[in-house]
Amino acid sequence: MSIGGKTIFFRFMSAEFLCAVLLAPSCLAAYGDRSKEPGDSAMELPESVVLPQAPRLAGAVASQDRGSGSDLTGFQAALMDARGGDKTSAEVLSRSFDGSSSGRGMLAALGGSDADQKSRVPEDGFPGREALEAMGRQYAPVEISADVSKLPRKERQALARMVEAAKIMDSIFLRQVWNGNERLKAELMKDKTSLGAARLAYFTKNMGPWDALDNNKVFIPGAPAQKPPQADFYPADASKEEVEAWIAALPAAQQEQARGFYTTVRRGPDGRLMLVPYSQEYKAELRSAAALLNDAAALTAQPTLRAFLKARAKAFLSNDYYASEVAWMELDSTLEPTIGPYEVYQDQWFNYKAAFEANITVRDDAETAKLRQFSSRLQGLEDSLPIPEDMKNKLGGMAPIRVVNVVYNGGDANHGVQAAAFNLPNDERVIKEKGAKRVMLKNIQEAKFEKVLLPISKVVLAKGDQELVSFDAFFTHILMHELMHGLGPHEISADGRKTTVRQALQDSYSALEEAKADVSGLWAMQQLIDQDVLPKSMEKTMYSTFLASSFRTLRFGVHEAHGKGQALQLNTFLDQGAVVLNEDGTFSVDYSKIKDVVRDLVRDLMVIEGRGDLAAARAMLAERGVIRPAVQARLDLLKDVPIDIAPRYDVEGLPR
């Protein structure tokens, strides 16, 4: 095959084998799924074909022991990893070799970087079955469903196709978190012991072998001790500095792609870094998802839903998501699907790369109608922000607000702590033109409030504040949090160049942005109370409810963006006297100070974002994005309160 002008020959492998393993899934388009050249002794491929798996397969081929006579289990596992987790094709492909292999060298070649191998934690010291089951009980099991009985049969059939597509997002996201996840999951599924079952259950909840509720502590032997901060968006053997320098040296157009949402960075056969579009990196999965979305589009009678599904299916194959993001903003139907690559939390190097997720939901028309008034208030809130005038914006359009009930969450939306709402898209071009949509997950919020927030409030708040905790305040603040993501600086100038807040603040962006949305959500609620849009009774309930919810979020850990952003806020409130630590260790709100402290923190956070001041962002998070002893003492008393919920989705009854 031809790579970079040099021809490399694999004389014992067929074209089908090379396409399936070395190039999968990127060369299938050029050569088809069934390349039939079994007699070839050599094969050349065009230079344009992306070969992200080539170095790993080459290492595996060099490592094989062809005369051992043992079974192919280890070899198949290695092939499965190279093939993207496809167990069946790995078993078939392993038989393409004219001999068998123990696979020990192969597994070493495919098992990750040298750094990964050296950082493996030994077998002892890991939680046993009972400990893992106790860890699982940190999530309260909740049946999650939505009433679809009034939907026409074809709409329910379309919904079923969307759920199937959402399950594919689970598979892609598992790969994105770590390139060893699929192989490890396959090994866990083969372990029929009670310990193996407990490990698999908690692995599935976390979408990986690191505990999201314990600072990503590894809980399964054989995985890296530290969760890779680059996830699988960048080469395992690359450093952050190497990737950063490589991006900076690219031409401007390629720099934009490298910093964009929809590419991975891989190391080519020549050892140099290269970009791989998502449409090639995850081609097999995205082709399947696109087919399901097109099937759903053919079933639905709702025009805007059909338009979005067809546009998103096309985006999965073309890697151009703009038109489908616009179509999602224009979606107006009883079914409200959100599916694709969105949030950047998993990219802990730069916050550049988007992870795949899905929220398949049914719209609650009555609740949605109640919230329409807020869309018309956004420009007024933007104009009133306590920041310099040149940092304010003219919003692109009315921001749609949807209240929905979840049918199924997948991928990045289906692991660890569950989102209560979201604000999308993240594409600044679409935000500028169309605004952003806020989606409230009502049945998820109700479960969180009952199972988690109310019990927390009884432990952390003073008696007077406990009585003020309300679901209406909880629900409304989540809405305002999502609305405020769309307000304030987005496209900025920093260091003499046009950029975005996300790109300028890099690894500090997610935590600072979550803090901004949280505290400015409180500020916006106060503005709307003062304008008689919200009831005056919410003036106290919102602050006490927010304080209880602060402890809910802190339990996620400060390694996570929401937890770190929440710690920044709570420590600011404590330092400024807006929140008071009582003699009995409980906390309460000082209503004489809270309004001014909230306003000032909104200003400070938005000015950092508007200036793209990375140094200031890092300094603020380092100082205040921590859990202090008095707060930790109260958190320690919550050990019997679930940290979050574990949804169980009722999707079996959907018609096929």
All residues at 6 or more sequence positions from 17 whose CB lies less than 8 Å from its CB, including other chains: 93, 96
Q: Which long-range contacts (CB under 8 A, 24 or more apart) does 627-632 make?
A: 627/554, 627/558, 627/567, 628/571, 628/574, 630/581, 630/585, 631/551, 631/554, 631/567, 631/570
pLDDT of residue 292: 98
For 499-531, write each residue's pLDDT tens digit. Answer: 999 999 999 999 999 999 999 999 999 999 999
Same domain assignment for residues 163 and 270:
yes
Q: Is the pLDDT of residue 467 over 80?
A: yes
25 or 330, which is more confident? 330
What the block records as the tokens of 133 is 């089951």
For 541-593, write each residue's pLDDT tens digit. Answer: 999 999 999 999 999 889 889 999 999 999 999 999 999 999 999 999 999 99
pLDDT of residue 573: 98
pLDDT of residue 396: 61
Same domain assignment for residues 67 and 207:
no
Q: 57: number of CA atoms within 13 Å, CB side?
A: 24
The least confident of 78-87, 162-171, 344-353 is 78-87
**Residue 95 is which amino acid?**
R
pLDDT of residue 247: 97
Domains held by the chain: number: 2
- Mean of pLDDT over the chain: 84
Look-up of token digits 């109608």: 369
Q: Is residue 525 part of a domain?
A: no
169 or 89, which is more confident? 169
Domain boundary among 241, 265, 280: 280
Q: What 3 state SS string does 425-476 have?
A: CCCHHHHHHHCCEEEEEHHHHHHHHHHHHHHHHHHHECHHHHCCCCHHHHHH
Same domain assignment for residues 147 and 85:
no
The least confident of 32-46, 270-284, 601-615, 628-642 is 32-46
Q: Is 500 helix (H, G, I), strand (E, B) or coil?
A: strand
Domain boundary among 228, 262, 280: 280
All residues at 6 or more sequence positions from 273 whose CB lies less than 8 Å from its CB, including other chains: 235, 238, 242, 243, 246, 265, 266, 267
Q: Is 557 helix (H, G, I), strand (E, B) or coil?
A: coil
**Residue 372 is which amino acid?**
R
Same domain assignment for residues 161 and 211:
yes
Average pLDDT over residues 106-116: 40
CA 540 to CA 529: how far, in whole Å? 11
The answer to whether the beta carbons of residues 622 and 495 sit under 8 Å apart is no
Q: Sorting pLDDT into bands at 50, 70 and 90, what band is 374?
A: confident
Q: Is residue 142 part of a domain?
A: yes
The least confident of 46-60, 129-143, 317-331 is 46-60
Q: Is residue 536 part of a domain?
A: no
For 413-456, write each residue's pLDDT tens digit. Answer: 999 999 999 989 999 899 888 888 989 999 999 999 999 999 99
Q: Is 255 helix (H, G, I), strand (E, B) or coil?
A: helix
Closest CA to 137 of 213, 197, 27, 60: 213
pLDDT of residue 347: 97
Using a 10 angstrom Cβ sphere, with 0-12 exposed, 13-18 middle and 19 or more buried, the burial of residue 46 is exposed
pLDDT of residue 425: 94
Same domain assignment for residues 58 and 182:
no
Same domain assignment for residues 164 and 65:
no
Same domain assignment for residues 104 and 140:
no
Q: Sorting pLDDT into bands at 50, 70 and 90, what band is 398?
A: low
For 211-232, write each residue's pLDDT tens digit. Answer: 999 989 999 999 999 999 999 9
For 53-63, write each residue's pLDDT tens digit. Answer: 433 343 333 33
The least confident of 364-373, 401-410, 569-578 is 364-373
Q: Sorting pLDDT into bands at 50, 70 and 90, what band is 287?
A: very high
Q: Is residue 39 part of a domain?
A: yes
Q: Is residue 178 part of a domain?
A: yes
The least confident of 86-95, 100-109, 115-124, 378-387 is 100-109
For 144-153, write each residue's pLDDT tens digit. Answer: 999 999 999 9
Q: Is residue 12 part of a domain?
A: yes
Q: Is the pLDDT of residue 79 over 80?
A: no
Name the DSSP letter for residue 149: T
The least confident of 85-89, 370-374, 620-624 is 85-89
Q: Is residue 255 part of a domain?
A: yes
Q: Is residue 92 part of a domain?
A: yes
pLDDT of residue 529: 96
Q: Is the pLDDT of residue 116 over 50?
A: no
Domain boundary among 77, 111, 145: 111
Same domain assignment for residues 141 and 274:
yes
Q: Is the pLDDT of residue 107 over 80?
A: no
CA–chain centroid gap for 440, Å, is: 17
Same domain assignment for residues 86 and 192:
no
Same domain assignment for residues 171 and 232:
yes
- Global pTM reads 0.74
Q: Sorting pLDDT into bands at 50, 70 and 90, what band is 393?
A: confident
Same domain assignment for residues 146 and 105:
no
What the block records as the tokens of 85 is 């987790």
Q: Residue 388 to residues 393, 519, 538: CA-CA distances in angstroms?
A: 11, 18, 29
CA 293 to CA 160: how far, in whole Å? 10
Using a 10 angstrom Cβ sphere, with 0-12 exposed, 13-18 middle and 19 or more buried, the burial of residue 170 is buried
pLDDT of residue 30: 34
pLDDT of residue 563: 95
Same domain assignment for residues 232 and 273:
yes
Domain of residue 195: give its range.
129-280
Main-chain dihedrals φ then ψ at residue 292, nearest 5 degrees? -65, -40
pLDDT of residue 41: 33
CA 566 to CA 628: how far, in whole Å? 12
What the block records as the tokens of 644 is 């979050």
